[in-house]
């Protein structure tokens, strides 16, 4: 990212270090059996297998980890978590990797994290997800002018079926105090 | 039987037919659903990649309200993601003093507090454990005779916490399908992930899963789901998935199918809301086409119960 060369073995900041430490605790007991990799329905789209990813975490190979698209391909299906003979919370580890990449904030992270962020911003604003406004936020974040058009046929179909609704403002702001408090506690602005 | 009902955001938006049929079917089965006052989003699977604390605090807020205002009631959630998020609070927060303290600190910003005393149930758990297929069978007025239904459980309903069924080989829908007069379509993809929100950022990856699921459902008259995201992914992207080897199959909520069998009126069952409900499929449903004898005989096939309007229509 941005031209800066990072050392593979050295965590960058305190925030990184703490997320990485949590991750290392989560997957520390991995014995590299590969059950997680074999269970993953999205493995074909990953550049690093889940098993190898846990190894890289154990070694603290931050650069390699952050370059990978593996964790963005996780659809939170929990198959690996269910099957891991060591009982490791692997789906949570994938989510923590997504948070780590958000801290890093490179282009791939902004693109791949756009949906989650749009979703959460909408929740913060409306209290409940309003599908139309959430999708608008998502399109804006992706900054890809062609993207809305790929969803257009579906949008039209849903409109015809009466599945598109105007945003309701009944719960606007209800969750703002919670979000503000959590941000304060998690040390993010 | 009374429950604190947590519909979740999707059921207020694109999955309204799931909300309406859940309420109507449960009422018919003798369950009273009382909506949690002022409930808010559970965070779905989008919260965890953004904030660990909010991933727990969002669902905990709803449980705190139930604990405070609806004492003693179990929470009933029809959406699998909502169910797992709510359940996670009890499994991962309660019992972890540090995390529980943090979550309550977040909740305190809204004057709330969660002790950890609310039981979380999925709709299918309540159907299986509290109601039972026998009771449902007694109320069937208009069975789905011969309809081959593929039960689709998806992922988060039994993973990682297999509370009420076997995650490797789930069967909890089957007695209900049989009670409705339907046939259980045997397939292997009932617990395969549909791709979930991967459909947004990387549709090319999610479509592969959807195509594999739809290919395996070849020969079924319908897929029954209990999750709004599964329903959306399996249904809305069928045209693309068919190009990748999938087969077009109607995708309905289990509660819609039960609603049909329990004789709920058309406005309630809302089949027309489903994107896969083409005129042909609707007619098949109305005429119970799958119950007809193999070669197309004329009218009055055995087992077709009263279907006032569309029965006369000639089926293609
Ligand atoms: S299944 Fe568990 S123990 Fe085996 S490689 Fe994966 S994380 Fe490691
Ligand atoms: S939870 Fe993620 S990593 Fe694990 S099997 Fe499912 S998609 Fe793969």
Which CATH number covers residue A33?
1.10.1060.10
B130 lies in some domain: no
Q: Which two tokens stand for residue B214?
A: 């739809």
Residues B232 and B260 occupy one common structural domain: yes
CATH number (domain holding residue B56) = 1.20.1050.140
CATH number (domain holding residue B175) = 3.40.50.11810
Pocket residue to mutate for ligand 2, from A26, A38, A42, A46, most atoms within 8 A of Cβ = A42
Residues of B in contact with A185 (CB under 8 A): 53, 102, 105-106
B186 lies in some domain: yes
The predicted structure's pLDDT at residue B86: 98
The predicted structure's pLDDT at residue B303: 44
Q: Positive or negative, the Cα torsion across A60, A66, A69, A71?
A: positive
- The set of residues, in sequence order, having a beta carbon less than 8 Å from that of B263 and lying 6+ positions away, is B140, B141, B142
Please state the φ and ψ torsions of residue B119, each to the nearest 5 degrees. Answer: -85, 135
Q: Indicate which residue's Cα is closest to atom 7 of ligand 2.
A: A74
Residues B116 and B158 occupy one common structural domain: no
Q: Contact at 8 Å (CB) between B152 and B234?
A: yes
Distance from CA of A10 to the nearest CA of B (A): 23
Check CB contact under 8 Å for B201 and A186: no
Its domain, for residue A22, covers 1-105
Chain B residue with minimal CA distance to A188?
A: B51
* pLDDT tens readout for residues A17-32: 888 899 999 999 999 9
High-pLDDT (> 90) share of chain B, %: 79
**Better-predicted residue by pLDDT, A156 or B80:** B80
Residues B175 and B272 occupy one common structural domain: yes
Distance from CA of A33 to the nearest CA of B (A): 19
* pLDDT tens readout for residues B77-129: 999 999 999 999 999 999 999 999 999 999 999 999 999 999 999 999 999 99
Check CB contact under 8 Å for A163 and B273: yes
Q: Indicate which residue's Cα is closest to atom 3 of ligand 1.
A: A30
- Closest ligand 1 atom to the C-alpha of A51? 5
d(CA A73, CA B65): 35
Output the CA–CA distances (angstroms, integers) from residue A115 to A54, A98, B51, B171, B197, in the order listed: 25, 12, 14, 33, 8
Residues B108 and B152 occupy one common structural domain: no
Q: Mean pLDDT over residues B282-299, rounded?
A: 71
Output the CA–CA distances (angstroms, integers) from residue B264 to A162, B81, B288, in the order listed: 20, 27, 16
Report the complex ipTM. Answer: 0.90
Could you say which of B96, B124, B152 is where a domain stops? Answer: B124
Residues A54 and A28 occupy one common structural domain: yes
Residues A78 and A153 occupy one common structural domain: no
- Cis link prior to B160 (omega < 30° from 0)? yes
Ranges of H-type helices in B74-188: 80-88, 97-108, 123-125, 133-138, 174-179
The predicted structure's pLDDT at residue B295: 59
Q: Positive or negative, the Cα torsion across B156, B215, A47, A108?
A: negative
Interface of A with B in 114-133 (CB under 8 A): 114-117, 119-120, 123, 127-131
- Which residue reads 């709709």 in tokens? B123
Q: Indicate which residue's Cα is closest to atom 8 of ligand 1.
A: A30
B296 lies in some domain: no
Its domain, for residue B200, covers 140-288
The predicted structure's pLDDT at residue B92: 97
B299 lies in some domain: no
Chain B residue with minimal CA distance to A173?
A: B40
């Amino acid at each position: 990212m941005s031209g800066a060369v990072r050392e593979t073995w050295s965590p960058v900041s305190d925030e990184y270090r703490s997320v990485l430490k949590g991750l290392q605790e989560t997957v520390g007991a991995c014995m590299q059996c590969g059950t997680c990799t074999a269970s993953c329905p999205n493995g074909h789209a990953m550049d690093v297998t889940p098993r190898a990813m846990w190894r890289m975490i154990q070694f603290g190979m931050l650069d390699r980890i952050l370059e990978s698209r593996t964790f963005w391909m996780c659809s939170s299906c929990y198959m690996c978590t269910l099957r891991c003979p060591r009982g490791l919370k692997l789906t949570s580890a994938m989510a923590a990797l997504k948070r780590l990449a958000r801290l890093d904030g490179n282009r791939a992270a902004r693109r791949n994290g756009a949906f989650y962020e749009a979703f959460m911003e909408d929740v913060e604003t409306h209290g409940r997800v309003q599908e139309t406004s959430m999708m608008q936020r998502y399109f804006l974040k992706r900054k890809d002018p062609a993207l809305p058009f790929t969803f257009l046929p579906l949008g039209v179909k849903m409109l015809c079926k009466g599945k598109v609704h105007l945003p309701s403002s009944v719960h606007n702001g209800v969750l703002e105090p919670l979000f503000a408090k959590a941000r304060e506690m998690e040390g993010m602005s | 039987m009374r429950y604190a009902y947590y519909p979740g955001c999707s059921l207020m938006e694109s999955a309204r037919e799931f909300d309406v049929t859940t309420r109507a079917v449960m009422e018919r089965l003798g369950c009273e659903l009382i909506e949690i006052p002022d409930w808010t989003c559970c965070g779905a699977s989008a919260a965890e990649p953004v904030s660990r604390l909010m991933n727990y605090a969002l669902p905990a807020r709803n449980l705190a309200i139930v604990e405070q205002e609806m004492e003693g009631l179990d929470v009933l959630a029809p959406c699998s993601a909502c169910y797992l998020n709510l359940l996670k609070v009890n499994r991962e927060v309660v019992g972890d003093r540090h995390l529980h303290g943090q979550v309550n600190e977040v909740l305190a910003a809204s004057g709330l507090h969660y002790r950890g005393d609310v039981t979380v149930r999925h709709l299918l758990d309540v159907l299986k454990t509290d109601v039972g297929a026998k009771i449902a069978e007694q109320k069937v007025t208009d069975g789905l005779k011969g309809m081959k239904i593929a039960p689709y459980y998806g992922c988060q309903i039994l993973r990682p916490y297999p509370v009420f069924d076997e995650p490797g080989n789930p069967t909890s829908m089957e007695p209900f399908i049989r009670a409705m007069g339907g046939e259980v379509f045997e397939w292997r993809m009932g617990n395969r992930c549909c791709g979930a929100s991967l459909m947004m950022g990387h549709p090319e990856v999610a479509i592969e899963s959807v195509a594999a699921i739809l290919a395996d459902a070849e020969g079924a008259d319908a897929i029954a789901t209990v999750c709004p995201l599964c329903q959306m992914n399996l249904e809305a992207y069928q045209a693309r998935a068919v190009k990748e080897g999938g087969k077009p199959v109607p995708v309905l909520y289990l509660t819609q199918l039960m609603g049909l069998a329990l004789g709920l009126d058309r406005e309630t069952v809302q089949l027309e809301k489903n994107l896969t409900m083409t005129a042909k499929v609707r007619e098949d449903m109305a005429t119970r086409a799958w119950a007809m004898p193999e070669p197309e005989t004329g009218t009055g096939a055995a087992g077709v119960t009263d279907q006032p309007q569309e029965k006369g229509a000639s089926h293609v």
